Amino acid sequence: MSPNQKRFKIVSLVILLVALVQVVGGVLLLLGSPLVAGLRIDLGGNASYDGAIAAEVLGVLALVVGLYCFAVGVTGARAANSPRSIGKFNVLAVVMLVASLVQVGLGVSTGQVGWVEVLLAVLAVLGLVFAGKAHNEAIDR
pTM of the predicted protein model:
0.82
Per-residue pLDDT of the chain (141 residues), as tens digits, is 788 899 999 999 999 999 999 998 888 877 876 666 666 666 665 544 455 566 677 788 889 989 999 999 999 999 999 877 888 999 999 999 999 998 888 878 777 777 888 999 999 999 999 999 998 888 877
Q: Cα separation of 106 and 37, whole Å?
A: 16
Q: Where are the domains of the chain?
A: 3-140
Sorted by sequence, the CB contacts under 8 Å of residue 48 that are 6+ apart come out as: none
